[in-house]
Structure formats: C-alpha cells, structure tokens
Structure 1
C-alpha cells in the first residue's frame, strides 16, 4: 500500500485497452486528456516531459557572447563561430512549438546585457529577450485550461539584487493569478485541485531572494541533479542510481554534457547528432524501465520514480521523447487501481 499524503493508493492490477498509449494522446492537451484517476495524483508524482536549455533555439550567428561564456570562448568565437554555435544550441523548435508537442517544463538560464534594461536567455551566447517566449507560455495556458507548465529559472548571470527584484515583479505581472504558490504539502497539488483554482504555472526561482515571495517555489522543492556525463552508459548508470525524497518534485536530466575534448574529437559535427541522438537511441529506451509515483520504502523499488524528465532536441523523431515520458503515466493505471480516501 502506497501513500500520497492525504490519499491512499491501493495496489491492484488492471488490464489496459491497447489504445491507451501516449501515441494516441493529443500532445497539445495531454494533461487534460489523462485518465480521470490520474488527475487526483499529486503533480510531483506524475511523469512530465521537459526541455533542457529550453531557449537555445534563439541562438543565431548574430548572437554575441554572454556572461556565462567560458573565458576561452572569447578567443575562439571570432574564428570558430559556426562550430561553437552548433555545440551550444540544444533545441530546434521555439517555445510555442515545444508546448504543442507536450513539453510542460522549461529549463531557463537568464543574463543581463550591458546598457540594456531587458533580460535575455543564454547558454554561453545570448538567445532572445525573454518577453516573447514568456508571453507565448501565458497565451498557451490561457487557451489550454487543462495544462500546467513549470518554469525553472536555473541560473542568473550578471544579476544584481535589483535585477532579481525587477524580474520577479515582471513574472508576477505576466502570470498573476495563474501562479501556483509553494505550499508546505506539495502532495495536495493535483491537476484537479489546480483546475478548480484556475492555477497553471509553477515558477521555480533558484535564488535566495525568492524566500520572501510565496508565489514562487524554492530550489529544494524540485531538485535537479546534473549527471555531468559524456557517455550514454554513464548517463544510464547515473539515472538508475538516483535517490529521491518523498514529498517534493524531482528532475531527471537525460542529457549528455560534452567536454572540450569530446567536442574537439567531433569538431565538424554538432550536439544534436553526437549527444541528443545517442540519448534518444540508447537512453530513452532505458527510461521506460522507470515509472512515476511516490518514492517507496528502501528495497521495494529499484529505481527512483520519475517526475520531470528533460532532454535535448525534444522534437526528434516526431517528438518521441515527450510521447515516451507521457506514456509512463499509464503505468500508474497498469499496476495500480487508484482508490483515494481523503483523510482530511
């Protein structure tokens, strides 16, 4: 018997119809279309596809070096601009397109720019200014009331305290009542409860300045350990040996991180072919061995349950990555009958 906070999950096998697969989900509305039982499962115990370095599609040959650029890039970029860009871009489609193929978590890295009052997305190079992508997310949740989006503001480069204050005011202004405030008991947050409250956007703000603002979640509510692996075998081993605490969310990073040596040996290639494609071919099938749900007692389950799972180039092969992650949610039905008893 498993526990979801005030709810009880009773183990019981169910035979699913052969049409109950993510291949038949409308990816644009996959949360809305989940089986009714799953809408009472805590959001932190559902499988949610996300994109890694989500906004790098905005990097172009006109992009300039950003504050997070490695020092050596200042010497190499003028000579090897094309190669560096090929190994910097991790997504091919924009924010709206990612939403339409089912992505519900965005990994955001932001930077200031000298003599500018705006903020920009970054990954060594400046991508686009933040207002258009964030407005696309606001427009999407407005037109898709059954969907929930997680914005994880991971890193801030060149920020002063006043920049954080101004950015947080901007986020409060654009998302307003759509924001899902952090709570003591995250297990009470479900798709059904959010639908009743008309709340659809989680903002994780990974900076100490957020502690006084209840509308945003703190880092410890959604741990996101970095694998730092450049081989698929090492990445699989990392993902299969993660430990996860109950009662909070979690991010599995299904991404390879190329080292300078790795890139030099593949100088004429790109991150998509040498990192994203191997993950799709060799790591994604291993992820099907995982399942969503609450962490169980030690020894009961071999692997930490998934919540958010992120990848590079999420559009590969007709969006096979988000389709695969979404389908993991059906394991909750295949292996259990969700019978809830409200103890409150």
Structure 2
C-alpha cells in the first residue's frame, strides 16, 4: 500500500510519531510539518506555595507580599497552563516546548517561571534528554523565549547547561531551514533544535535566533479574534522560517478579577480547545500553512496533539494529463 495508507494510524503511537512517518514526510522540511507543542511547558512544575516570580505584574507581586497565601493561590490557578510533566507531554506527541527562565535571589540555579517559580531548568532539560535518548528517531524544538532578571553570567550558564545536556545532538544553525528534515537530522545524529530569543546567544552556532521560528501572540480572551489573528499570521508566513501558532486565550487583570474563583482551564482553555479542533482539521502544513501549534493543558479531554499530527500527509500524486 502507498504512503497514504501508512499514515492512517499516524497519531496512534504519539511517543514515536516522528519515527513512524513515511519516508516522503521524513524528507519534508521541518518547517513544513505540523508539529504539536505546549504553551508554557514548564508551568507543570509550579506548586501552590511557590514564590511569585519576576514575570508577574508589579501590583501582583506587591499584593502577594501583603496577602501571601490568598494571593498566591489565585496566581497559581491562572499561572499553570500544563498539568502533565514534560515527559508526559512528550509522550503525548508534543515536540515543541516553550520555556520561560528566571534567576532567583540567592540561588545559583535557574528556574522555569510563569507567574510563579517552577522547577530548576536543569531538571526539565534532563527530562527531555532522557526521553530522546530512548527514541533516536524523535526530535524536539526547545524554545527558550522569555528571560527574567538574567545577567550575562546567567545567560552564559544557561547556554553552557544546554550544550552540556545535549552535546553533539544539538542541531547547529544552518543557512536555510529548508535543509532541515527529519531524515537530515537523523543522518547527523541531531535531535534538539534550540531557539534562544536573546542577543546573549547571537553568533553561537548551537542556538537558533528568534526569527527562525516567529511566535506571534494573539493576546485576547476572544475566540474569533484569536482565530482571525492566527489566520492572518499564517497567510503572511515568510519563507525559510517556521511559525508557532499560539492557540491560547490570555486573561488580563480585569478578566481574572471577574472570574476570581475560577481558573485558566475552566474559564478559557476549555472554550479555546472546543473552537480549535474543528478549525485545525481544515488546515494543512506547508509554506503558507500550519507548522508548530501550541496549546494549554496537553492531555485534557480534547486531544489536540493527535489532531495536529494527523494533518501530516504525503503530497498526492499528480493527476495524469487528460
């Protein structure tokens, strides 16, 4: 049977989906595949008693200092975007991880953050490393995209940590992303692409610049506004770069105050997922199509990762001339 038949159960084995792609798709540039990703991937490590982090609004940090436990419980409900561990997210098919990093007073370690401090970055990277060591045909895009209270020394330490963790499996920057396919990566033993959105990594061949994978942010609580924004950005995709489609709704302070006793999942993510699934099924990967799709709460009832993986189909043979 042809490649199309081989893709019938493509999303059935989410732990190994890249390795199970037909040869024709392994030869497609990574930027022209549909790849599921998680939004604020490291927020799964935040606990209700964690310290408030520097990415929180100043007013939130001041309130937390005065009304510690009460305010922190509220911040927690709106900061956590993932409940599955990073390893579990990868097992669900996620191949793009969005990490935000901060220093912590009087600590040498760097931590993942999203409103509150999560786990040390070193532990998160080691989870990715362990997953990939057991699956040589899989690859992950790590997007280190926001940094807080980071000195040049902090950046140097983080860059060295990434290189130390992944070593020769880090994919170096190449002139054209059109060259980078799964077959190309596998032939060279590369499994990790790291996008580092800071000038601190400029010129370092191990770290891809921000422009290689633009990640436009809808910044809205409205589903129609989000979808219109995402469609506009997809239609305007520049050549030779990927695109991160952020299928997320983002609360502002007013929204949180109006839904104070709720949380991100109940008030926004469930509504967002219900709209995304039928929208996604109409899309296709390609130069002006979808590439990386990130969303909140991987593993929830709506299995978006499988839907994204299933968008990958070999090109249909050209019809014979009549």
Q: What is the TM-score with the length of structure 2 in the denominator?
A: 0.93
Shift of 1:221: 0.6
Unaligned ranges ≥5, structure 2: none
Shift of 1:202: 0.4
Shift of 1:35: 1.6
The correspondence for 1:66, drawn from 34, 42, 53, is: 53
Shift of 1:83: 1.9
Q: How many residues align?
A: 311
Alignment-derived partner of residue 307 in structure 1: 291
The correspondence for 1:322, drawn from 297, 305, 316, is: 305
Residue 254 (1) aligns with residue 244 (2):
no
Query: Superposition pairs for residues 144-183 of structure 1, below 5 Å?
Result: 144-183=135-174
Q: RMSD over aligned Cα, in angstroms?
A: 1.7
- Residues 206-263 of structure 1 show CA distances to partners (whole Å, capped at 9, x for unaligned) of 0112112101100011100111111111111111111101111110000001111111
- Residues 151-176 of structure 1 show CA distances to partners (whole Å, capped at 9, x for unaligned) of 00001100011111111111111111
- Residues 172-191 of structure 1 show CA distances to partners (whole Å, capped at 9, x for unaligned) of 11111000111111111111
2:194–2:208 contact (8 Å) kept in structure 1: yes
Residue 336 (1) aligns with residue 319 (2):
no
Alignment-derived partner of residue 215 in structure 1: 206
CA distance in 2, matches of 1:142, 1:18: 26
Query: Superposition pairs for residues 180-329 of structure 1, below 5 Å?
Result: 180-242=171-233, 243-295=236-288, 305-317=289-301, 320-329=303-312
- Residues 243-292 of structure 1 show CA distances to partners (whole Å, capped at 9, x for unaligned) of 10111111000000111111112111110111111111112211222110
1:166 to 1:18, Cα distance in 2 relative to 1, 3 A: closer
Unaligned ranges ≥5, structure 1: 1-13, 296-304, 339-344
2:242–2:291 contact (8 Å) kept in structure 1: yes
Alignment-derived partner of residue 81 in structure 1: 72
Alignment-derived partner of residue 8 in structure 2: 20
CA distance in 1, matches of 2:229, 2:96: 21
1:45–1:293 contact (8 Å) kept in structure 2: yes
Shift of 1:17: 4.2
- Residues 290-334 of structure 1 show CA distances to partners (whole Å, capped at 9, x for unaligned) of 110123xxxxxxxxx1111100001111x611001101112xx2x
2:247–2:294 contact (8 Å) kept in structure 1: yes
